[in-house]
Chain A
Amino acid sequence: SAVISQKPSRDICQRGTSLTIQCQVDSQVTMMFWYRQQPGQSLTLIATANQGSEATYESGFVIDKFPISRPNLTFSTLTVSNMSPEDSSIYLCSVGAYPYEQYFGPGTRLTVT
């Protein structure tokens, strides 16, 4: 499976600020996704990061709050904008591998104070 890295691994941010999370994969992948995992909860899909076009957002998530970039087949960023304490969560990058499997990065633990 692909090696997936995320930066930063954790951060503590003040409310009202923004944080950009980077996801790097060691091989080209077609599908990249961003998930959120709130403390003690399951994984919720935020959006599918499409290379060369706008991300596809799930219900409850909007581009203004979670802008996503996908400049090439190995890299994506997720920005959490105008943060509030409710955004405290683990954010996980995920990639699809042929033909079906999906793997996760190590996650970014975000705390908003």
Chain B
Amino acid sequence: GENVEQHPSTLSVQEGDSAVIKCTYSDSASNYFPWYKQELGKRPQLIIDIRSNVGEKKDQRIAVTLNKTAKHFSLHITETQPEDSAVYFCAARADKLIFGTGTRLQVFP
């Protein structure tokens, strides 16, 4: 079945810097790749997603890129702010949504 690897597990950046989180997946049939943000004690929230027929998608300060050949996709956050601090999960879906292990992002003022 699908396996999703995510790194780094923790990431600390200064406010205003960029943050990049990378994921790889194993199932070439996966065609949908969402990213979730989970703040402490809250539910995972869908922040951006990309489908297999698209290479890049951007929404204000966040962007996601997909390389189907290499089976990896990345989340890019620019101009980070303290409120971006959270755990971020990538996921991949062929027939069901499988999650990566998560990245704890800390943005220091």
A72-113 near B? 1/0 per residue, CB < 8 Å: 000000000000000000001010000011111111000000
Q: Is the interface of B mostly helix, strand, loop or mixed?
A: strand
Which of A12-20, A22-30, A41-49 lies at the binding interface? A41-49
Are A105 and B96 within 8 A (Cβ)?
no
Quick one: which of B1-57 are within 8 Å of A by CB? 1, 32, 34, 36, 42-46, 49, 51
Are A105 and B102 within 8 A (Cβ)?
no
A-B contacts counted at CB < 8 A amount to 42
- Chain B: residues with Cβ within 8 Å of the partner, total of 20
A15 → chain B, closest Cβ, in Å? 25
B20 → chain A, closest Cβ, in Å? 19
Taken together as a complex, chains A and B put the C-alpha atoms of A42 and B44 apart, in Å, by 10
Interface residues of B (CB under 8 A from A): 1, 32, 34, 36, 42-46, 49, 51, 89, 93, 96-102
